[in-house]
């Protein structure tokens, strides 16, 4: 898939995501993990690094674990920057890594973004039309995740006010893990909640493993994931607004 940016020229989605990943400060290495030879060759073609993984990986976390095993190296933290999250601002990942570094007891972390009324309206519109929408998250006072869902949680009635809507958090599909957590994930099978929601991070929760939710600030930048064909014009408009070619 190609997306058009400020110059109006299509560029492969994987190149957009690569450019977003390499803009993150403090990252030692960026590698695309894929089971698709075409993606592998595309990445190599623009000078990126890629590694082939098994076609049996059920999700990005399994793929990261497999890629880490193949690449080797003594890494403290591994970040799963997903290919459909090209609008993820670099500071989201920087904040995520910093939070994990600051908390030796945390082994998995993921960003959450407080919803704007406009974003929440978009989530509701997707649900109304039966589209795969954004993921929301709820967490405890220590910011440990309680649950993630494709539904809007916590529940909001039709007459919810602005204060209530401000308590909805959009889960940003990026993860940071300590290598031991990745290795442990590989030993578990998908549970009923993961299968029902289609959310890989629920495997940690279903096995009693904490996931730290790190609140990030959008700083006015549009954030949207590529889940449906209807998302393409929204993302292309955001790329143009950021003057990304």
Each of the 245 residues of the chain gets a pLDDT tens digit; together they read 443 433 344 346 788 889 889 999 999 999 999 999 999 999 999 999 999 999 999 999 999 999 999 998 889 999 999 877 777 889 999 999 999 999 999 999 999 999 888 888 888 888 888 877 789 999 999 999 999 999 999 987 766 665 566 689 999 989 999 999 999 999 999 999 999 999 999 999 999 999 999 999 988 766 556 555 655 555 565 555 554 44
Q: Are strands 50-52 and 32-34 parallel, antiparallel or unpaired?
A: parallel
Secondary structure (3-state) at 181 = helix
Q: Which fold has domain 2-241?
A: Spore Coat Polysaccharide Biosynthesis Protein SpsA; Chain A (3.90.550)
Beta carbons of 3 and 235 less than 8 angstroms apart: yes
Contacts within 8 Å (CB) and 24+ apart, 52-61 = 58/190, 58/200, 59/200, 60/175, 60/200, 61/175, 61/177, 61/182, 61/185, 61/200, 61/201, 61/203
The residue whose two tokens read 């933290």 is 77
Which is nearest to 200 in space by CA: 22, 65, 16, 24?
A: 65
Written as six digits, the tokens of 25 are 């400060």
CA distances from 117 to 50, 166, 169, 195, 231 (A): 39, 8, 11, 30, 18
Beta carbons of 152 and 160 less than 8 angstroms apart: no
Torsion angles phi and psi, residue 78, rounded to 5: -120, 130
Q: Are strands 145-149 and 78-81 parallel, antiparallel or unpaired?
A: unpaired
Torsion angles phi and psi, residue 227, rounded to 5: -110, -30
pLDDT at residue 174 in the model: 94
DSSP string for 18-81: HHHHHTSTT-S---EEES-HHHHHHHHHTT--EEE--TT--SHHHHHHHHHHHH----S-EEEE
Beta carbons of 21 and 30 less than 8 angstroms apart: yes
Contacts of 94 (CB under 8 A, 6+ apart): 24, 25, 26
pLDDT at residue 4 in the model: 43
Domain boundaries, the chain: 2-241
pLDDT at residue 117 in the model: 82
The residue whose two tokens read 């403090």 is 26
């Amino acid at each position: 898939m190609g997306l058009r940016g400020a110059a109006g020229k299509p560029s492969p989605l994987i190149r957009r995501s690569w450019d977003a990943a390499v803009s993150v400060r403090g990252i030692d290495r960026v590698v695309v993990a894929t089971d698709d030879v075409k993606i592998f060759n595309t990445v190599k073609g623009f000078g990126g690094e890629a590694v082939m993984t098994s076609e049996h990986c059920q999700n990005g976390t399994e793929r990261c674990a497999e890629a880490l095993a193949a690449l080797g190296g003594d890494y403290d933290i591994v970040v799963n920057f997903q290919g459909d999250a090209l609008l993820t601002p670099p500071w989201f990942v920087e904040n995520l890594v910093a939070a994990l570094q600051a908390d030796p007891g945390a082994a998995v972390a993921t960003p959450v973004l407080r919803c704007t009324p406009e974003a929440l309206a978009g989530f509701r519109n997707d649900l109304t039309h039966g589209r795969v929408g954004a993921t929301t998250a709820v967490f405890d006072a220590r910011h440990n995740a309680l649950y993630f869902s494709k539904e809007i949680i916590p529940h909001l009635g039709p007459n919810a006010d602005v204060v209530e809507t401000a308590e909805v958090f959009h889960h940003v599909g990026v993860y940071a893990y300590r290598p031991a957590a990745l290795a442990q994930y590989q030993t578990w099978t998908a549970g009923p909640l993961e299968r029902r929601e289609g959310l890989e991070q629920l495997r940690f929760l279903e096995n009693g493993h904490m996931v730290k939710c790190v609140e990030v600030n959008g700083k006015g930048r549009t954030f949207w994931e590529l889940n449906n064909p209807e998302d393409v014009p929204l993302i292309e408009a955001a790329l143009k607004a950021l003057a990304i070619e």
